Structure formats: structure tokens, C-alpha cells
Amino acid sequence: EAGVAQSPRYKIIEKRQSVAFWCNPISGHATLYWYQQILGQGPKLLIQFQNNGVVDDSQLPKDRFSAERLKGVDSTLKIQPAKLEDSAVYLCASSSPRQTDTQYFGPGTRLTVL
């Protein structure tokens, strides 16, 4: 079974630029999550999708961050414009309908904003 795929693995941009991250969850996993992990901290949930609907986006900075999961499979997270404090690893995770509490993570995208 293929794991959660993410791309790119690394991205360096200047502040005020925009960036997008892509995630492909495990096949059959209805729930998809985007997390932000700042160095030295645990993952912080940004947004949770159930199929293509948003379940929780209370921690998403909506003035600059957006995410979509149009067909209930792949998802894209965008930051526009980026700030220095957005430098972090962005993790995508998915969970199956039968075991929603256990999440399977992708390798993450390390974003550096200069």
C-alpha cells in the first residue's frame, strides 16, 4: 500500500511570494489533514477535510492560507503572501473511515521563507 505522497520536499522562497504544496493521501482514506510543524514544536492542525468538505479550519490563517480538496482525493495548500514566520515543515496526513484516530503522515515539505 502506497503511503501519503507530498511534493515538493523542499521549497525556498522570499517573503511576500506565494507557494503551493500538494498531497496525495492513501487510497480510500476519506479524511485528510494539513499540519504546520515549526522547529522544536509538535504538529499543529491547519485544516481537516472529510472527502472534499472542510471539517475544521479554525487554526488556518485565512488571510494568507487556503486549501482545497476538489475531488475528495488530492489536496493543495497555498500560502499567499508568505511571511518569515511561515518557515516550517508542512505535513499532510490521512486516516481511514474505520480508524479515524490513527493518522498516516507524508514526509512533509520543508518551507524556508527568506
Partner 1 sequence: DQQVKQNSPSLRVQEGRISILNCDYTNSMFDYFLWYKKYPAEGPTFLISISSIKDKNEDGRFTVFLNKSAKHLSLHIVPSQPGDSAVYFCAASSTNAGKSTFGDGTTLTVKP
Residues in contact with partner 1 by CB under 8 A are: 4, 31, 33, 40-45, 48, 50, 55-56, 91, 93, 95, 100-108
Complete DSSP assignment for 35-101: EEE-TTS--EEEEEEETTEEEE-TTS-TTTEEEE-TTSS-EEEEESS--GGG-EEEEEEEEETTEEE
- State the nearest-atom distance from the C-beta of 54 to partner 1, in Å: 12
As a whole number of angstroms, the distance between CA 114 and CA 101 comes to 36
- State the nearest-atom distance from the C-beta of 43 to partner 1, in Å: 5
Beta carbon nearer to partner 1, 72 or 81 = 72
Beta carbon nearer to partner 1, 31 or 112 = 31
Beta carbon nearer to partner 1, 17 or 105 = 105
All three cell numbers of 71, joined, read 475531488
The answer to whether 68 touches 1, Cβ cutoff 8 Å, is no
- State the nearest-atom distance from the C-beta of 19 to partner 1, in Å: 19
- State the nearest-atom distance from the C-beta of 94 to partner 1, in Å: 11
All three cell numbers of 77, joined, read 495548500
Beta carbon nearer to partner 1, 27 or 99 = 99
